[in-house]
Every structure is written in structure tokens, then in C-alpha cells.
């Protein structure tokens, strides 16, 4: 059984549950993970230029799709391009990144491309040109979308102000905003903003790097016992119950299968509120887009 889907503002359907592929590096790891994921019911795979594994994933997809009697159209491929001036300017670099992703992933189109972060990682958060760079990179994605190389466009680690600026600059509304999300960082204002605008909020770092204070929390452990579920399953069901997408990473076949079982876990609204009550506005990833002007 495949996971439930969400209709994006551009009309395309995206699975709410997917496999994150950060730190999947070797050919064998990619083949093992993708094969286990397909068998479990995953249909979305999330990668990025920054992960440096698109070639391995492309090779693995070619082998594993055939093995599981699936076609390219059965899979939702999501990648990210980071803002950079490696090729001289942001526009040239963004176009080259997407073309490179298409080649390495061995596909004629990408289902979703996100701008990975609201600035070039090598410059100051307060740099005055950050807004222009976001606009330039996003504009290139729109051009590639018109050319049929990208179906949907989104962002990652963006604040509401960054999205508003894109629209003010004449761009289309992003379909997805992928940000860190878990009971210690629930981002209520940003989640509500995305919901109001019809933008899918997609969670990265949903397991909070297995931080001990969350794993040992009394509320979490009571829910694990109540629902006969693992820590991971509770953490993943938490966003899913709120129609928030989620892309947990794993290379372990048993864990990949166990994680997918969270799609069948129906946590009550009262228990979701208990988990929301654990919010500390604490992030565990290196992503802090709210600091970027």
C-alpha cells in the first residue's frame, strides 16, 4: 500500500510520506534502501545536490524500478538546488545544477525541485543581495518548469517573509516548503501560513536526531506504550496526522519498513496536542532560515 497523497497548488499529487536519502552514499546502500522502500510502499524519494548521491540514486532507481515492476511514472523524485555562484552567477549555476540532476538521476523530468536554503551558504545571513539571489534562482526553476524539465517548484528552510518576497517579485507561489519539524520544533505560525496559502509543509529532521531529551520524554514514552509503537513511528505519525509531509532517512531495510508503518498509526487529536505541548522552539539541524534576511 502506497502512502497518502496531497494535491499541490499546481495540481500535481505528492506522496505525504517519502524516503530521505541524506548520507546514502554507496551504490549498494542506495539499491538496498530503495528496494526496501519500494517493497514497503514508499513512492517519494528526497535528495539534493548537497547530498552528492544523485548518480548513485539514478543507477539504483533504474535497477530497482524494473525489479519491482514499476515505471518512472510510479515514482516521485524530489531534489534540491542550493543557491550558488559557482558558475559565475546564480542563474547559470542553478540551471547547471538542475541539468546535472536530470542527467545523474537519469530522468527526463523532475517531479519537484526545491531551493535548498534562502541564501548562498557561503555568504552572510544579513547580506543585502540574498533576496535577489533567491529570486534569480527561483526564476530559473520557473523557466525549466515551462520547458517541461520540472513539474513542481518549492523551497526549503524558507520563512513566510521569504515566500512573500518571491510573490512580490513576480514569481509563482511555491508548492512545498520543507523545514525542520518535530515535537521540540513545531513552527505553528509557519505551518499555519503554509496551510493558509495552500503550500505543503514538509518535515525534515522529523526524528530530531534521536535527541535523548525527546526520546526519554514521559509523554512520548506513554504514547509509545499506548499505541504499541516505536519512538520513530510516533515521531513520524505526528506530522502525518496534521497533513504535514515527512521524509525520514534510513539505509536499514527493517527500519525503512518499520518507519512506513507510521502511515497506518492513527494518533488521537488529544495526543497530538500533548506532543505539540513539548515544543521548545529548538532546532537540531544546521538550518536556521529565520536568521536570513
| 64-123 tens-digit pLDDT | 999 999 999 999 999 999 999 887 899 999 999 999 999 999 999 999 999 999 999 888
CA distances from 284 to 107, 170, 200, 206, 250 (A): 33, 33, 22, 10, 18
Residue with the larger pLDDT of the pair 231 and 288: 231
Separation of first and last alpha carbons in the chain: 43
Report yes or no on whether pTM surpasses 0.75. Answer: yes
Q: Residues within the annotated binding site?
A: 116
Residue 3: the pLDDT is 63
Distances (CA, A) of 63 to 1, 69, 171, 255, 266: 21, 10, 38, 22, 34
pLDDT band at 290 (very low <50, low <70, confident <90, very high): confident
Question: pLDDT, tens digit, for every residue of 169-178?
Answer: 999 999 999 9
Give the integer Cα–Cα distance in Å for 19 and 4. Answer: 14
* DSSP-assigned letter for residue 133: H
Q: What is residue 80's predicted lDDT score, i.e. its pLDDT?
A: 97
Helix (H/G/I), strand (E/B), else coil: 47: coil
Asked which of 1-15, 82-96, 131-145, 241-255 is least confident by mean pLDDT, the reply is: 1-15
* Residues 262 and 233: beta-carbon distance below 8 Å: yes
- Tens digit of each residue's pLDDT (9 = 90 or more) over 20-46: 999 898 999 999 999 999 999 999 999
Q: Binding site for substrate: residue ranges?
A: 116
Rounded to an integer, what distance in angstroms lies between the CA atom of residue 252 and that of residue 102? 27
Q: Where are the domains of the chain?
A: 5-279
CATH fourth-level superfamily of 5-279: NADP-dependent oxidoreductase domain (3.20.20.100)
Q: How many CB atoms lie within 10 A of CB 85?
A: 16
- Which of the residues are catalytic? 51
Amino acid at each position: 500500500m502506497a502512502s497518502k497523497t496531497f494535491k499541490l497548488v499546481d495540481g500535481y499529487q505528492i506522496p505525504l510520506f517519502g524516503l530521505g536519502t541524506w548520507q546514502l552514499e554507496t551504490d549498494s546502500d542506495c539499491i538496498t534502501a530503495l528496494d526496501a522502500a519500494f517493497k514497503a510502499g514508499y513512492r517519494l524519494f528526497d535528495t539534493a545536490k548537497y547530498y552528492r548521491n544523485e548518480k548513485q540514486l539514478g543507477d539504483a532507481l533504474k535497477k530497482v524500478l524494473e525489479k519491482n515492476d514499476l515505471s518512472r511514472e510510479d515514482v516521485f523524485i524530489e531534489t534540491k538546488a542550493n543557491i550558488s555562484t559557482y558558475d559565475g552567477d546564480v542563474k547559470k549555476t542553478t540551471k547547471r545544477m538542475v541539468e546535472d540532476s536530470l542527467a545523474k538521476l537519469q530522468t527526463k523530468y523532475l517531479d519537484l525541485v526545491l531551493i535548498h536554503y534562502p541564501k548562498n551558504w557561503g555568504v552572510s545571513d544579513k547580506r543585502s543581495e540574498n533576496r535577489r539571489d533567491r529570486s534569480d534562482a527561483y526564476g530559473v526553476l520557473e523557466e525549466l518548469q515551462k520547458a517541461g524539465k520540472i513539474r513542481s517548484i518549492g523551497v526549503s528552510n524558507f520563512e513566510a517573509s521569504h515566500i512573500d518576497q518571491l510573490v512580490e517579485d513576480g514569481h509563482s507561489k511555491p508548492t512545498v516548503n520543507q523545514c525542520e519539524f518535530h515535537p521540540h520544533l513545531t513552527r505553528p505560525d509557519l505551518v499555519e501560513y503554509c496551510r493558509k496559502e495552500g503550500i505543503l509543509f514538509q518535515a525534515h529532521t522529523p526524528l530530531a536526531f534521536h535527541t535523548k531529551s525527546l526520546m526519554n520524554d514521559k509523554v512520548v514514552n506513554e504514547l509509545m506504550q499506548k499505541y504499541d509503537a516505536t519512538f520513530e513511528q510516533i515521531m513520524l505519525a505526528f506530522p502525518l496526522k496534521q497533513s504535514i509531509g515527512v521524509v525520514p532517512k534510513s539505509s536499514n531495510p527493517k527500519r525503512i519498513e518499520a518507519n512506513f508503518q507510521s502511515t497506518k498509526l492513527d494518533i488521537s487529536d488529544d495526543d497530538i496536542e500533548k506532543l505539540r505541548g513539548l515544543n521548545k522552539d529548538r532546532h537540531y539541524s544546521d538550518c536556521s532560515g529565520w536568521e536570513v534576511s
